[in-house]
């Protein structure tokens, strides 16, 4: 049994896989219950922890390869921890301003999914067209590589930009306690 400000909820299904909890129970923060009257985010539909070991330490000079992209802008933002998951919105807006770009100029956008509904809310607020958002699936589908989600997001975005011959891409994610981070890449 959990102690503290958490309450157990029963999910619609206890099916294992696709982000479901093996024990068939979800965890809902009791502190957020008032803010989420019509919907409840439970641990049963969270992103699964994935295994990942992307090589972040390799540079173009090490292998004689051309760079995939240039970082045009980065930004971080913080919001009230009660609305954890919303941080990518102000972080993305700040990064776009710093780069002198608009969301319409982004060819692809990767938003790391803390929860599926979190991505949908951020995408709606940022006016991201569905055909540009997480085009290969998000973290619910691909997994959440512990400690290297940012590297996974960047790698997914950059390789898809190259495949589609796109120019600009935005990778963003929320971080616990209301933080958000965004990076805008320009393909070389």
**Is pLDDT above 70 for 28?**
no
Q: Burial of 68 by CB count in 10 Å (0-12 exposed, 13-18 middle, 19+ buried)?
A: middle
- Domain 60-187 -> CATH class: alpha beta
Q: What is the pLDDT of residues 100-127, one digit of tens each?
A: 999 999 999 999 988 888 999 999 999 9
Higher pLDDT, 12 or 109: 109
Q: What is the pLDDT of residues 49-81, one digit of tens each?
A: 554 444 444 455 667 778 889 999 999 999 998
pLDDT at 62: 66
Task: Name the pLDDT band for 45 (thresholds 50, 70, 90).
Answer: very low
Q: First CA to last CA across the chain, in angstroms?
A: 52
**Is pLDDT above 50 for 84?**
yes
pLDDT at 139: 84
What residue segments make up the domains of the chain, in order of their start? 6-46, 60-187
pLDDT at 32: 39
Q: At 42, is the secondary structure helix, strand, or coil?
A: coil
Phi-psi region of 13 (alpha: psi -120 to 50; beta: other; left: phi over 0): beta
């Amino acid at each position: 049994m959990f102690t503290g400000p958490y309450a157990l909820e029963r999910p619609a299904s206890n099916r294992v896989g696709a982000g479901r909890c093996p024990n068939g129970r979800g965890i809902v923060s009791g502190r957020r219950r008032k803010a989420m009257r019509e919907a409840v985010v439970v641990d049963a539909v969270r992103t699964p922890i994935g295994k990942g070991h992307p090589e972040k330490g390799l540079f173009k000079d090490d292998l004689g390869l051309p760079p995939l992209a240039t970082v045009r802008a980065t930004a971080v933002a913080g919001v009230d921890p009660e609305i954890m998951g919303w941080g990518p919105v102000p972080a993305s807006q700040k990064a776009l301003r710093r780069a002198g770009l608009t969301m319409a100029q982004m060819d692809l956008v990767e938003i790391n999914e803390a929860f599926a509904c979190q991505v949908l809310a951020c995408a709606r607020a940022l006016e991201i067209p569905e055909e540009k958002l997480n085009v290969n699936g998000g973290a619910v589908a691909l997994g959440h590589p512990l400690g290297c989600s940012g590297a996974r997001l960047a790698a997914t975005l950059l390789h898809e930009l190259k495949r589609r011959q796109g120019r600009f891409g935005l990778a963003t994610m929320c971080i616990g306690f209301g933080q958000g981070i965004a990076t805008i890449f320009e393909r070389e």
